[in-house]
Amino acid sequence: MDLSDDRQRRLLFAGIAAALVLLGLWLAWPRPDTSPTGAATPSATATATPPPAPVTPPPGIAGEVDPNAFDVYRLLPFGRKDFATAATTAQRFVSAYGTYRFDEEPQTYLDRLRPFVVDPVYADLRAAASSAGVLEERRQAQTVAAGSASLDAIRTFGTTSVTFLVTGIQDVDSTAGKRSESKSWAVTVQNEGGSWRVHSFSPADVGQAGEAQ
């Protein structure tokens, strides 16, 4: 066996191995970005960022209704805040309607009611409050009435209106003594231009279906 040939083969193999190692190091070594903008090219396998979740839930309930987490306002024409504002308007109106004194001017009474009602209702209230017979009766009896109200139920609602059943309570003091009276009203409150106002009211036993939509 020729030892010189064997030594040459070993040197050749060693040279090839060293060249492969250097090639691997060269391939793995990071290179400067030569693109015009200098921005790194995103990886083709990068995961796209998911879009943000909607701020409000979509209308309707597609899945099975959970009785412990049922949001009824998703099925109604307006939300919790609007319902609360409408209810407050109906309640405060009935309270103000039942509050008056024999020694105050009718306009003072009407001014308390004005913020709660639409123009046609205000016109009817003004005609009733200015009735000479009613005013004289209250003056003779020296009637002082303090009104309050209890929200009892929702009778019906439309796309812009709600009809509440409201019990008006009056504590009346007069020359005949003190007494407490109550009466149930159907009060329709309607949203007009973002403001809730009493659109109509009547005794609850007369019936009131609310404003047609």
What is the share, in percent, of the chain residues with pLDDT greater than 90? 55
DSSP the chain: --HHHHHHHHHHHHHHHHHHHHHHHHHHS-----SSS-PPPPPTTPPPPPPPPPSSPPSS--S---TTS--GGGGSSS-HHHHHHHHHHHHHHHHHHT-EETTS-HHHHHHHHGGGB-HHHHHHHHHHHT-HHHHHHHHHHT-EEEEEEEEEEEEEE-SSEEEEEEEEEEEEEETTEEEEEEEEEEEEEEEETTEEEEEEEEETTT-------
d(CA 45, CA 181): 77
Asked, for residue 47, whether it belongs to a domain, the answer is: no
Q: Give pLDDT, residue 193.
A: 85
As a whole number, mean pLDDT of residues 70-98 equals: 93
180, β-bridge pairs: 171
Alpha carbon distance 142, 3 (integer Å): 138
- Average pLDDT on 181-204 reads 95
pLDDT digits (tens, 9 = 90+) for 20-73: 544 454 455 555 555 455 444 444 444 455 544 444 444 677 888 888 888 888
Is residue 65 in a domain?
no
For residue 96, the domain's CATH number is 3.10.450.230
Task: Please check whether residue 120 lies inside any domain of the structure.
Answer: yes
In a domain, 54, yes or no: no
- List the domain range (segments joined by +) for residue 121: 72-203
Higher pLDDT, 69 or 196: 196
| Of the candidate ranges 95-104, 155-164, 199-208, the one whose mean pLDDT is the lowest | 199-208
Q: Does residue 39 lie in a domain region? A: no
Residue 123's CB: how many other CB atoms inside 10 A?
11
Q: Is residue 159 domain-resident? A: yes
Asked if the structure places residue 163 within a domain, the reply is: yes
- 12 inside domain: no
Which segment of 64-68, 119-123, 181-185, 200-204 scores lowest on mean pLDDT? 64-68
Q: Name the domain count of the chain.
A: 1
Q: What is the pLDDT of residue 68?
A: 86
